[in-house]
């Protein structure tokens, strides 16, 4: 209900912008500072007053990152892990969400309640037995140890169920069914395309979370060729105890792919989070 006539109460005061600009500055500055140190070197990084413009040393430091740890390999590893988890969550959670939203089966409500309740269980604390299970599967130091546990999650099922229930009418599914489509065809050809934007955002959130995960890869991965980028930058920090330029360079390179991704899909991510599953 917007009024066309400007109201005095609607006018945005200057201090609103000042506070928001301060928050924006706080959000961006650490990354800018990371970039500054990543483009100069340690000597400049610890110089006071600090440099506030990027130096020309980026390619030298980046080269050092790639020669110190198998960084290309770890980016590929991270892409494989985060990509599989993103796609897996989008498809598997849509499938389960579809079943919970549009199919009738015995135990449906109880099972859905169970799914929702699992969201509050801090299973990360069971990390010792989780490691033992991965170990007995022979998956220590492999990428599937990171991928498989993350392929479906409760939040994603809840998210997709909400979207499927509200975005897809029963009539369109019935029409497809009358045309002779099987359950799978109804899902894959009719329902999934209609909720693809929601599944895309879910996959994106899964990708970001997996890309940035630290504890589990840190426990499971042993050899440098299997490192994800997060473990690689930890290794950089170790191997050169005080070489900040190197550590920051690695951190920046590990963050860059997500920043680039965010430039293209940030708007949808914001909308997705705001449109999220937390209303009521």
Partner 1 sequence: MTTSISATEVGLPPAPPEETARRRFTEIVAPYAYIAPFFVLFAVFGLIPLLFTFYVALFDWNPIGEHVFVGLDNFSRLAGDVRFWNAARNTVSIWLLSTVPQLLIALVLAHLLNHVRLRLALFFRMTMLVPYITSVAATAIVFAQMFDRDYGLLNWLLGLMGFEHIDFTQSVVGSHVLIAVMVTWRWFGYTALLYLASLQAVPRAIYEAAAVDGAGGVRQFRHISLPALRPVIVFTIVTSTIGGLQIFTEALLINRGAPNTCGPIRQCQTLTLFLFEQGFTQFKFGYAAAIGVALFVMVVALAGLNYFLSTRIRPVKG
- Per CB under 8 A, contacts with partner 1 among 154-193 are 154, 157, 168, 170, 173-174, 177-178, 180, 182-184, 186-187
Residue 87 as a binder of partner 1 (CB under 8 A): the answer is no
Interacting positions 40-69 with partner 1 (CB under 8 A)? 45-50
Pick one of 85, 90, 99, 146: the residue that binds partner 1 (CB under 8 A). Answer: 99
Spatial contact of 66 and 72, defined as CB atoms under 8 Å apart: yes
Q: What's the CA angle centered on 84, arms 79 and 87, to 5 degrees?
A: 120
Interacting positions 205-224 with partner 1 (CB under 8 A)? 208, 211-212, 214-215, 218-219
CB of 182 to partner 1, least distance (A): 7
Size of residue set near partner 1 by CB under 8 A: 114
CB of 99 to partner 1, least distance (A): 4
Q: Is 79 or 258 the residue whose CB approaches partner 1 more closely?
A: 258
Spatial contact of 254 and 229, defined as CB atoms under 8 Å apart: yes
Contacts by residues 192-200 (CB-CB < 8 Å, ≥ 24 positions apart) = 192/94, 192/98, 194/167, 194/168, 195/94, 195/160, 195/163, 195/164, 195/167, 195/168, 197/268, 198/159, 198/160, 198/163, 198/167, 198/272, 199/90, 199/91, 199/93, 199/94, 199/160, 200/90, 200/268
Interacting positions 103-162 with partner 1 (CB under 8 A)? 103-105, 108, 111, 115, 118, 120-133, 135, 148-149, 151-154, 157
Cis peptide before 231 (omega within 30 of 0): no
CB of 118 to partner 1, least distance (A): 6
Interacting positions 12-31 with partner 1 (CB under 8 A)? 12, 16, 19-20, 23-24, 26-28, 30-31
Q: Is 67 or 105 the residue whose CB approaches partner 1 more closely?
A: 105
Q: What is each CA distance from 19 to 32, 131, 187, in whole angstroms? A: 20, 46, 47
Residue 5 as a binder of partner 1 (CB under 8 A): the answer is no
Q: Is 72 or 263 the residue whose CB approaches partner 1 more closely?
A: 263
Closest C-alpha to 163, from 209, 117, 88, 98: 98
């Amino acid at each position: 209900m917007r009024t066309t006539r400007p109201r005095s109460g609607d006018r945005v005061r200057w201090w609103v912008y000042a506070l928001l600009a301060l928050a924006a500055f706080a959000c961006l500055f650490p990354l800018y500072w990371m970039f500054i140190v990543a483009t100069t070197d340690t000597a400049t990084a610890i110089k006071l007053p600090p440099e506030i413009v990027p130096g020309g040393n980026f390619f030298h430091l980046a080269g050092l990152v790639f020669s110190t740890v198998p960084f290309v390999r770890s980016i590929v590893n991270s892409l494989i892990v985060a990509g599989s988890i993103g796609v897996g969550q989008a498809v598997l959670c849509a499938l389960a969400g579809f079943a919970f939203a549009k199919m009738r089966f015995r135990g449906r409500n109880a099972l859905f309640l169970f799914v929702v309740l699992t969201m509050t269980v801090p299973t990360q604390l069971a990390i010792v037995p989780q490691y033992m299970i991965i170990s007995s599967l022979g998956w220590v130091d492999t990428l599937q140890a990171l991928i498989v546990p993350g392929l479906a999650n409760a939040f994603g099922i809840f998210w997709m169920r909400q979207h499927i229930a509200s975005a897809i009418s029963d009539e369109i599914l019935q029409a497809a069914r009358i045309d002779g489509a099987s359950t799978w065809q109804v899902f894959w050809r009719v329902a999934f395309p209609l909720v693809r934007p929601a599944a895309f955002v879910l996959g994106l959130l899964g990708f970001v979370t997996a890309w940035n995960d630290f504890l589990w890869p840190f426990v499971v991965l042993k050899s440098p060729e299997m490192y994800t980028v997060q473990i690689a930058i930890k290794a950089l920090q170790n191997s050169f105890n005080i070489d900040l330029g190197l550590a920051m360079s690695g951190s920046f390179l590990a963050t860059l792919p997500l920043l680039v991704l965010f430039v293209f899909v940030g708007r949808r991510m914001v909308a997705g989070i705001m449109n999220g599953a937390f209303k009521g």
